[in-house]
Every structure is written in structure tokens, then in C-alpha cells.
């Protein structure tokens, strides 16, 4: 593994900071209510929310890094690829993949919303690239992933981590997935880690002509509060041949 969590130099914040605040409030409020004379049955709530919040925090600050290290290693990159990271945030995946392409380029796209990730701004991404010593191979673009200002087939690999679900409409999420596929070169690979809508992404990609499509569960390391909010990994390839030669025997696992 080329960049384990213990070797990370960047400061990547936490995902969904409002959720962590909600978990914290959910722990404190029942305790305060009981202290003020409320029913003791409220004491059942804090342990449940504390565990859920702990799992959420673990996924954000450790689990996702471990999962992505494995996924990036599995790509077996040659080192000269052009890679796109959609919703790059402060650069957790961006810098990890940049370490693997010393002769390549990595482009990060985001609209830099702090509600999605604490301290999410372009300056933080640049600072983390510098801390990880990969700033020489990274480009940042401020853009909506539904309308990428990027040409067709530019990238050997397109990645996205916990970003597309932040688009509130189903149509918008479909546009983002289609854009990700559009900018992927023939023979290129796409990998999306996300919650809630991942199986829909798989159907969109298959309809667009993608092959070798899979949907797998990332496991407990990326549970966002528990097994009821798992992270799913959607993988696909753009066929190098024409659509008439597609082999759509992809598989879906869950």
C-alpha cells in the first residue's frame, strides 16, 4: 500500500459535520432531560446514538481512507494516467491517487460546500496537495459535476467518493453519472463510492453502454452510523470497441 492512513500528512476534516452535531445533541439532550426530572427510559437513547455517531466518525476519519487505499491499489495504475476526481473536497482521494501517478495528472472538481465536508474549500485542497507533496500533478476546477467544463474522453480513470448523493434530484444525479462516463476515455475505468442511490448509478451506466459493471458493499469501515447506511462501490468500464461489441455480462452484488 503506497499511502496508508498513518502516512497521511493532509488535514481532511470530517464528512457531514451537521450529522455529527446531531448525534452529539441526541446524546446530550436525553441526559439533560433525565437530570431535570424526565423519565429514566430516555437513558436508553444516548448509548445507541453514541455508537451510531462513533461509526459515522470512524468512516469519515479512518474507514474511507482504508477502503480507498485498497480500491486504488486494485486499479494497478501504470503511473502516467490522467485521473478525474468528482467532488474532490479537501483532497482525500485526490492526493491518494496522485501519489500513484508520478508521471500523470489528477484533476479535482468541486463546488466547495462546507455543509458536505468541514472546511471544504479550494485553499484546503491546495494545502493538502502541498502537504502530501503532489501539488505538481494536480489541477483543481470549480464546477458543477452535472455540467463538467471538460472534453469527451479525456480521462483514463474517473473517481468519485461520497459526493453524487449530495445532488438532491434524481435527474441531477443521473446527469452527474452520465457526465462522469462522458469524460472517460474508451477503455477507461470508473469507480464511484456513495450511499443511497448507487444501484441506480449502475443502471444508468449500463444503459450508457458501460461494461464490467459491478456494485459491491464497502463493508463496516464505511458504515455511516450503521449497516442501514452502507457505502456501495460502483465500478464500470467504457468499452474500447463499438457498442455493437459490448459484453454486458456485468454482475451486481450486495
What per-residue confidence (pLDDT) applies to 120?
Answer: 83
pLDDT of residue 248: 39
pTM of the predicted protein model: 0.88
Q: Give whole-number Cα distances, 39 to 26, 27, 32, 34, 206, in Å.
A: 16, 15, 11, 6, 53
Residue 241: what pLDDT?
Answer: 59
Rounded Cα distance between 169 and 109, Å, is 19
Is residue 215 classed as helix, strand or coil in its secondary structure?
Answer: strand
Q: Are 90 and 10 in contact (CB under 8 A)?
A: yes
- pLDDT for the residue 242: 56
**For residue 1, what pLDDT is reported?**
40
Residue 113 has what pLDDT?
85
Under-70 pLDDT residues of the chain:
1-6, 241-254
- Residue 222: strand pairing partners: none
Residue 117 has what pLDDT? 79
The confidence score (pLDDT) of residue 5 equals 44
pLDDT at 197: 95
Q: What cell does 238 get?
A: 467504457
Of 171, 173, 99, 163, the closest CA to residue 137 belongs to: 99
Cell of residue 152, nine digits? 469527451
Amino acid at each position: 500500500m503506497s499511502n496508508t492512513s498513518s502516512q497521511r500528512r493532509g488535514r481532511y476534516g470530517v464528512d457531514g459535520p451537521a450529522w455529527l452535531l446531531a448525534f452529539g445533541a441526541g446524546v446530550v439532550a436525553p441526559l439533560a432531560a433525565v437530570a431535570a426530572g424526565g423519565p429514566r427510559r430516555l437513558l436508553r437513547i444516548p448509548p445507541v446514538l453514541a455508537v451510531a455517531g462513533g461509526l459515522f466518525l470512524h468512516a469519515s476519519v479512518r474507514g474511507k481512507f482504508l477502503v480507498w487505499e485498497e480500491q486504488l491499489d486494485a486499479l494497478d495504475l501504470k503511473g502516467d494516467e490522467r485521473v478525474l476526481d468528482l467532488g474532490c473536497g479537501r483532497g482525500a482521494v485526490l492526493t491518494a491517487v496522485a501519489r500513484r501517478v508520478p508521471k500523470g495528472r489528477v484533476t479535482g472538481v468541486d463546488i466547495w460546500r462546507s455543509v458536505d465536508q468541514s472546511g471544504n474549500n479550494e485553499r484546503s485542497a491546495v494545502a493538502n496537495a502541498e502537504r502530501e507533496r503532489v501539488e505538481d500533478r494536480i489541477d483543481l476546477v470549480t464546477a458543477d459535476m452535472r455540467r463538467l467544463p471538460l472534453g469527451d474522453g479525456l480521462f483514463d480513470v474517473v473517481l468519485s467518493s461520497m459526493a453524487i448523493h449530495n445532488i438532491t434530484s434524481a435527474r441531477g444525479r443521473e446527469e452527474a453519472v452520465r457526465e462522469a462516463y462522458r469524460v472517460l476515455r474508451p477503455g477507461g475505468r470508473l469507480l464511484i463510492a456513495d450511499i443511497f442511490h448507487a444501484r441506480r448509478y449502475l443502471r444508468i451506466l449500463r444503459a450508457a453502454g458501460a461494461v464490467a459493471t459491478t456494485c459491491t458493499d464497502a463493508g463496516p469501515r464505511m458504515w455511516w452510523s450503521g449497516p442501514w447506511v452502507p457505502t456501495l462501490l460502483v465500478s464500470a468500464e467504457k468499452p474500447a470497441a463499438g457498442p455493437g461489441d459490448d459484453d454486458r455480462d456485468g454482475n451486481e452484488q450486495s
